[in-house]
A and B are shown apart, each in its own frame.
Chain A
């Protein structure tokens, strides 16, 4: 997530796809206009203080107020508004049915991710990570389960609010493979600053392989087992987490069916490996204070290791 917030060049000025390109153009134009207007104001100020008397008189007249104070900003801002809205209009284009569809729901303080088929049915559940093919627009259906959140991958598109009781569409596209950080860009209480995700763009062939692999695994019986699985169930993790093919079917927390392949943990904030899995389960409140998962400090190191080992197998 953190590479959505800083880096050089700044992520908003470093687009990796056509939708982000437009936002970047808008950003540069606004910056340029800001510089020009500041220069004009400084020049006028100079005239007012030190300029020749004739200039001062013209600047002090009523027409200067009408032109510089009302007509100029009125025309420039209206033109900017229309141009900006037209430029970015296709970010929210309707679903045509041919593009991959992903529903992303903001939850306090993580992202629920559901891959949809062309008919809009959920075919795969995931969390805190979206996978997309390079060079193709992807339509996101943005929702919220609680308060207002905001979905933002600066390298790939603009910002869009996630509102309770409403679905907002947003298109994103990556023109090169790689990982792009995303964040919640609307204060949503508590650990909002630690609410992120990653977008992972694959070359089309890799994307197809990824998709097949996932669907294949969902079609198989989940045969992973051992003490880790038993401990996971006995500790009640399944009340909040779903792992497809097991009795764990909770919905209050992120889906863990593919957690072993996740790039990050804790909603985009930690790398994902055995160590961070243990640390998260044992002390999630220390790492992300106020989040809605309790710290399991009563589980022993051996028990946590077994659970983490089983989660790593959930590919």
Chain B
């Protein structure tokens, strides 16, 4: 990790090499609550969806009012807000686009993430203050195409998930443009933008947000030999599947930083605040620790374990070091349960009594072992003792979602810290 690829990345202070070009940590934010949590837990930027033109039609998208509030909140932390506007539009989507983009500019968002040249060109014309970032939906995977988009005046490109680290290196060497790449989360097994399985199977347009994840279903594989169908699987074989493991590049963060990648992106606008908080805080630590002292950096076991606490599918590095093999696909399984449940969100803490006020997010009861985490504290675990409701009645358990409860914590906690519970 000591080869300096680009001397604008690091400098030497008191004989010690430190990274000066820290990549942006970019997190998903499906809702205003998620936006606030992502930024609070250390994201430098978030991407959100608007009411239209984005690919997650069901990801709790933002109204213009909510966007404004989100942008203001982000600004206080020096964070940025990008809006995914990455559908491939049909003719009927052209009407209304100008107003929509003007609205985004007015809301003060930093940039939009776009695939369709229709939206790129319209944005340049009607909302010129908004940065234009090329979406991964364009499956951008070579440096000459990167050069093309640079010449077209784009501010940043998001690479195809099929791009290897060597390919990224060549792109960075040959073209001077901001590069964003995915580091964590679920992904398409197809080249993005090149899958219309859902159009065929369910009459829902995947390139306008209607994907039904048909690639995660099971199929039987046959061959057709002179008109006769022959099963290519035995009675108790797992069916043909093309479900990929999720992406996880936590151990490759140093390499990504040394390559000079500008933005590291976490997938998952549909994911819970617990997931976002966990993943963002781990990557925040990895990036900061590496940048402060790259020579002595070592990945900590506890960071890896932390990520497991919210992982609902096995994960792998995908294309980062070359085409992934069979072991990076899932056969006969459809994911796993995360090792921990999100049990509660801290609303308040009383120093004098040592009592936390907590919003319940999953069932827990006295005697349960729980873990608290958050940007202000070191993770700690404790056993829950007596629990009271808001009125001071003692409870046998915290049973109701969003119920407000109080109990004693062994160490101080802060608003927006989270409590999770291990699952046996």
User: Is B one of A's binding partners?
Assistant: no
